[in-house]
Structure 1
Amino acid sequence: MPRFFFDIQDDCLTTDDVGTEFPNAHAACDAAIRVLPNIARDEVARSESRQVAVLLRDEAGRALFAASLILNTKWLVDTA
Protein backbone atom coordinates (compact mmCIF):
# COMPACT_ATOMS: atom_id res chain seq x y z
CA MET A 1 0.00 0.00 0.00
CA PRO A 2 1.20 3.53 -0.67
CA ARG A 3 2.32 5.72 2.21
CA PHE A 4 0.91 9.23 2.74
CA PHE A 5 2.11 12.02 4.99
CA PHE A 6 0.03 14.54 6.95
CA ASP A 7 1.70 17.87 7.71
CA ILE A 8 -0.28 19.77 10.35
CA GLN A 9 -0.31 23.56 10.67
CA ASP A 10 -1.77 25.05 13.83
CA ASP A 11 0.38 27.23 16.10
CA CYS A 12 3.38 25.72 14.33
CA LEU A 13 4.07 23.37 11.45
CA THR A 14 4.40 19.70 12.32
CA THR A 15 5.89 17.73 9.45
CA ASP A 16 4.99 14.06 9.24
CA ASP A 17 8.22 12.14 8.68
CA VAL A 18 6.72 8.68 9.25
CA GLY A 19 3.53 8.59 7.19
CA THR A 20 0.63 6.16 7.17
CA GLU A 21 -0.34 3.53 4.63
CA PHE A 22 -3.68 3.84 2.87
CA PRO A 23 -5.14 1.92 -0.07
CA ASN A 24 -5.26 5.09 -2.18
CA ALA A 25 -5.15 8.89 -2.08
CA HIS A 26 -8.91 9.16 -1.58
CA ALA A 27 -8.75 7.14 1.65
CA ALA A 28 -5.86 9.31 2.86
CA CYS A 29 -7.86 12.43 1.97
CA ASP A 30 -10.80 11.19 4.07
CA ALA A 31 -8.46 10.65 7.02
CA ALA A 32 -7.02 14.14 6.61
CA ILE A 33 -10.49 15.68 6.81
CA ARG A 34 -11.44 13.58 9.85
CA VAL A 35 -8.37 14.65 11.85
CA LEU A 36 -9.06 18.42 11.63
CA PRO A 37 -11.95 18.62 14.16
CA ASN A 38 -9.96 16.56 16.67
CA ILE A 39 -6.99 18.91 16.47
CA ALA A 40 -9.17 22.02 16.73
CA ARG A 41 -11.08 20.61 19.71
CA ASP A 42 -7.89 19.76 21.58
CA GLU A 43 -6.48 23.25 21.07
CA VAL A 44 -9.58 25.47 21.42
CA ALA A 45 -9.21 25.94 25.18
CA ARG A 46 -6.22 28.19 24.52
CA SER A 47 -8.05 30.77 22.40
CA GLU A 48 -11.45 31.77 21.06
CA SER A 49 -10.45 31.28 17.46
CA ARG A 50 -8.60 28.33 16.03
CA GLN A 51 -7.44 27.55 12.54
CA VAL A 52 -5.85 24.24 11.70
CA ALA A 53 -4.77 22.91 8.34
CA VAL A 54 -3.49 19.64 6.97
CA LEU A 55 -1.40 19.08 3.87
CA LEU A 56 -1.46 15.58 2.41
CA ARG A 57 1.73 14.46 0.64
CA ASP A 58 2.63 11.30 -1.22
CA GLU A 59 5.82 9.25 -0.88
CA ALA A 60 7.59 11.50 -3.39
CA GLY A 61 6.82 14.53 -1.22
CA ARG A 62 4.32 15.90 -3.73
CA ALA A 63 1.44 17.87 -2.17
CA LEU A 64 -1.83 16.16 -3.13
CA PHE A 65 -4.53 17.74 -0.99
CA ALA A 66 -5.01 20.51 1.53
CA ALA A 67 -7.83 21.15 3.97
CA SER A 68 -8.34 23.69 6.74
CA LEU A 69 -10.83 24.29 9.50
CA ILE A 70 -11.60 27.49 11.38
CA LEU A 71 -13.31 27.14 14.75
CA ASN A 72 -14.57 30.26 16.53
CA THR A 73 -15.88 30.03 20.08
CA LYS A 74 -17.26 32.69 22.40
CA TRP A 75 -18.77 32.63 25.87
CA LEU A 76 -22.13 34.44 25.91
CA VAL A 77 -22.29 34.67 29.71
CA ASP A 78 -19.81 35.62 32.42
CA THR A 79 -17.98 32.45 33.44
CA ALA A 80 -15.95 33.93 36.29
Structure 2
Amino acid sequence: MWSRTFAGLLLGLLISISVVLNLNLLLPIKEDTMLLIGLLCAFPIWVGIQVWAYSFTSAKKAWLKLTIVLAPSALLNLLLLSLR
Protein backbone atom coordinates (compact mmCIF):
# COMPACT_ATOMS: atom_id res chain seq x y z
CA MET A 1 0.00 0.00 0.00
CA TRP A 2 2.78 2.46 0.85
CA SER A 3 4.52 1.83 -2.44
CA ARG A 4 1.36 2.68 -4.38
CA THR A 5 1.03 5.80 -2.25
CA PHE A 6 4.56 6.90 -3.11
CA ALA A 7 3.98 6.06 -6.78
CA GLY A 8 0.90 8.25 -6.80
CA LEU A 9 2.60 11.08 -4.94
CA LEU A 10 5.89 11.14 -6.81
CA LEU A 11 4.93 10.11 -10.33
CA GLY A 12 1.58 11.86 -10.04
CA LEU A 13 3.34 15.12 -9.25
CA LEU A 14 5.75 14.67 -12.14
CA ILE A 15 2.95 13.78 -14.56
CA SER A 16 0.81 16.74 -13.51
CA ILE A 17 3.74 19.15 -13.87
CA SER A 18 4.61 17.65 -17.24
CA VAL A 19 1.05 17.85 -18.58
CA VAL A 20 0.62 21.45 -17.42
CA LEU A 21 3.97 22.38 -18.97
CA ASN A 22 2.85 20.80 -22.25
CA LEU A 23 -0.34 22.85 -22.14
CA ASN A 24 1.60 26.03 -21.45
CA LEU A 25 4.01 25.38 -24.30
CA LEU A 26 1.29 24.47 -26.80
CA LEU A 27 -1.35 27.11 -26.08
CA PRO A 28 -0.68 30.57 -27.56
CA ILE A 29 -1.89 32.65 -24.61
CA LYS A 30 -0.45 35.30 -22.29
CA GLU A 31 1.77 34.36 -19.36
CA ASP A 32 -0.67 35.36 -16.64
CA THR A 33 -3.39 33.22 -18.20
CA MET A 34 -0.97 30.30 -18.56
CA LEU A 35 -0.11 30.58 -14.87
CA LEU A 36 -3.77 30.56 -13.88
CA ILE A 37 -4.50 27.54 -16.09
CA GLY A 38 -1.51 25.73 -14.61
CA LEU A 39 -2.57 26.44 -11.05
CA LEU A 40 -6.15 25.34 -11.70
CA CYS A 41 -5.27 22.17 -13.61
CA ALA A 42 -2.23 20.78 -11.79
CA PHE A 43 -3.84 19.81 -8.49
CA PRO A 44 -6.87 17.93 -9.92
CA ILE A 45 -4.59 16.04 -12.31
CA TRP A 46 -2.30 15.10 -9.42
CA VAL A 47 -5.18 13.92 -7.25
CA GLY A 48 -6.68 11.92 -10.12
CA ILE A 49 -3.39 10.15 -10.72
CA GLN A 50 -3.04 9.39 -7.01
CA VAL A 51 -6.49 7.78 -7.03
CA TRP A 52 -5.58 5.90 -10.21
CA ALA A 53 -2.45 4.52 -8.51
CA TYR A 54 -4.67 2.83 -5.90
CA SER A 55 -6.72 1.10 -8.59
CA PHE A 56 -3.85 -1.22 -9.51
CA THR A 57 -3.61 -4.62 -7.87
CA SER A 58 0.09 -4.33 -7.10
CA ALA A 59 2.63 -1.60 -6.52
CA LYS A 60 4.77 -2.85 -9.38
CA LYS A 61 1.91 -2.35 -11.84
CA ALA A 62 1.25 1.12 -10.46
CA TRP A 63 4.88 2.21 -10.89
CA LEU A 64 5.04 0.67 -14.38
CA LYS A 65 1.81 2.19 -15.72
CA LEU A 66 2.50 5.63 -14.27
CA THR A 67 6.02 5.57 -15.71
CA ILE A 68 4.56 4.63 -19.10
CA VAL A 69 2.27 7.67 -18.86
CA LEU A 70 5.10 9.96 -17.74
CA ALA A 71 7.60 8.99 -20.46
CA PRO A 72 5.78 10.36 -23.55
CA SER A 73 4.77 13.52 -21.73
CA ALA A 74 8.34 14.15 -20.60
CA LEU A 75 9.63 13.52 -24.13
CA LEU A 76 7.10 16.00 -25.49
CA ASN A 77 8.34 18.50 -22.87
CA LEU A 78 11.90 18.07 -24.10
CA LEU A 79 10.86 18.41 -27.73
CA LEU A 80 8.77 21.54 -27.16
CA LEU A 81 11.42 23.17 -24.98
CA SER A 82 14.14 22.47 -27.54
CA LEU A 83 12.03 24.01 -30.32
CA ARG A 84 11.29 27.12 -28.30
TM-score w.r.t. the length of structure 1 is: 0.40
Larger radius of gyration: 1
- Which structure has the highest helix share of the two? 2
TM-score w.r.t. the length of structure 2 is: 0.38
- Which structure has the highest strand share of the two? 1
